[in-house]
Amino acid sequence: MVNSGDPAKKPRLSLARLRSLLKVLTGSFRDLVPIIVVIAFFQIVVLREPFPDLERVLVGLVFVVVGLSLFVQGLEIGLFPLGEGMARAFARKGNLAALLGFAFCLGFGTTVAEPALIAVSAKAAEIAGAAGAIADHPDSRDSYATQLRLTVAVSVGAALVLGVFRILKGWPIHYLIIGGYVLVEILTAFAPEEIVGIAYDSGGVTTSTITVPLVTALGIGLASAIRGRSPLLDGFGLIAFASLTPMIFVLIFGMVV
Amino acid sequence: MVELLEHMFWATLGTLRDIAPIAVILLGFQVLVLRQRVSNLGRLSGGFVYVVIGLTLFLVGLEEALFPIGETMAEQLTSSRMVGDRQGAPDWRDYGWVYAFAAAIGFATTVAEPALIAVSLKAEEISGGSLSGFGLRIAVAVGVALGVALGTFRIVTGTPLPLYIVAGYVIVIVQTTRTVKTIVPLAYDSGGVTTSTVTVPVVTALGLGLASTIPGRNPLIDGFGLIAFASLFPIMSVMGYAMLIARLKSGKS
């Protein structure tokens, strides 16, 4: 240690930082071990094929470990405090309409441009075209895909509005979610068969890696700022709404279009 | 090297495009509605930069190293070389390695899912450490493993998707009435969290590969549904995990 004799604060601080960075790096590596083991096992033992381009794979893995570590650090110093800070500011302000407007915009804005959703709605338009539900023509497929995408984005916006309202009121989450499930089941019976698979999958694709931490922090921030709400009981659950409503909206979309 | 740099460039643009609407909404509401100074603005923006760079490196690395192999693997495992070239209706017993791969890759990709890491970090912090973030992630990963394996079984047998999902909902409802109350919102959330950056591409490739090689399946229709399984089963496994922990604790005292 070159700096060990130096009483100045700076080197000690950076050492502590280095140590915490090392801890995060090893944590990220540990998270990736299962993928490496699974892929190596199936490649070598089951498919009995050599690794293509091993060097490239190793470079890629270093990227993944460093990237995941930076992401986790960024969560702690950026996304989490920001989400919770805004939640507290809204709670202090006490403007319900502004809070619900924010929730809707956040849900709609983050979903409408989501690449996974764009891919899924293009696929769905292809199915609808092949099944004869719409004219099998690029224009009608495009407009179908866009409408579907907007439907899902509106449904996620609505989900966050409902979810935030639930936190404010302190309603128990299971009545709403189970009610939603029952609705999904009823709609499934009436919706065209081709849309069902897409509708069920659409719940999973809407919540991206940046949206999840932000929305989670928003919920927890609200629940801890409002008296009488428990962060654990009331703070979580926004993501659950955002995965449920797209199913309902897409099933209805399939029945209407 | 040039290729890698080019890939990095496009990936950074992609992440920035993902984050742009979020930044606009946050800024808009901050400036127009909340109208107060943000404390620690420098630190917060630093965090954002970390998230953008981290996510970009993560995705580029995955696309360089793991996705190509994972996707080829999904195709090879479902090809006739692995499952034998039978005539007529497929026999679900020929697909053992497919189920094993589905379970293993479902588990492995979920453990590395950044969104799940975020939620489990928060859950551990909020519960004051009484809930282990790592335990939660393992519980979710086990759920995804079971779900994806069962989902591939469904594609092989061609049984209707709503049957499984409706049965799953019934189990979730029964569990909800019996499990520890504090875990319920977290369990419901974990369903939506599991399926993002890492899991979706590999699992989708598996579903489409299966549906296009098995006679009588239509990739456009039967290829869908795996994500639904991967979002439903973690809800059950997380509530199951909480029930198990509660039972162990009451047994000890």
Judge if B47 and B171 occupy the same domain.
Answer: no
Judge if B18 and B125 occupy the same domain.
Answer: no
Q: In angstroms, what separates the C-alpha of B249 from chain A's closest C-alpha?
A: 20
Q: Which of residues 45-74 of A touch B (CB under 8 A)?
A: 46-47, 51-52, 56-74
Judge: B55–A71 Cβ closer than 8 Å, yes or no: yes
Judge if B218 and B119 occupy the same domain.
Answer: yes
pLDDT in tens, B82-140: 655 555 566 777 788 889 999 999 999 999 889 899 999 999 998 888 889 999 999 99
Cβ–Cβ under 8 Å, residues A205 and A116: yes
Judge if B221 and B247 occupy the same domain.
Answer: yes
- The predicted pLDDT at position B148 comes to 93
Contacts made by residues B5-11, CB under 8 angstroms, sequence distance 24+: B7/B60, B7/B63, B7/B64, B8/B56, B8/B60, B11/B56, B11/B59, B11/B60, B11/B63
Half-sphere exposure (CA, 13 Å, Cβ side) for B244? 10
Task: Label residue A80 exposed, middle or buried (CB < 10 Å: 0-12, 13-18, 19+).
Answer: buried
ipTM for the whole complex:
0.86
Judge if B189 and B64 occupy the same domain.
Answer: no
Judge: B112–A32 Cβ closer than 8 Å, yes or no: yes
Whether residue B56 is contained in a domain is answered as: yes
Judge if B179 and B201 occupy the same domain.
Answer: yes
Judge if B87 and B212 occupy the same domain.
Answer: yes
Judge if B54 and B85 occupy the same domain.
Answer: no
Work out how many domains chain B is built from and give that number: 2
Judge: A204–B227 Cβ closer than 8 Å, yes or no: yes
Whether residue B236 is contained in a domain is answered as: yes
Dihedral over Cα of B238, A107, A162, A166: its sign: positive
Judge if B194 and B117 occupy the same domain.
Answer: yes
Instruction: Report how far residue A171's alpha carbon sits from residue A178's, in angstroms, rounded to the nearest whole number.
Output: 13
- The predicted pLDDT at position A43 comes to 84
Judge if B23 and B114 occupy the same domain.
Answer: no
Whether residue B73 is contained in a domain is answered as: no
| Residue A2 pLDDT level (bands cut at 50, 70, 90) | very low
Judge if B95 and B143 occupy the same domain.
Answer: yes
Q: Which residue has the higher pLDDT, A103 or B212?
A: A103
A90 vs B contacts (CB less than 8 Å): 34
Structural domain harbouring B220: 78-252
Judge if B24 and B149 occupy the same domain.
Answer: no
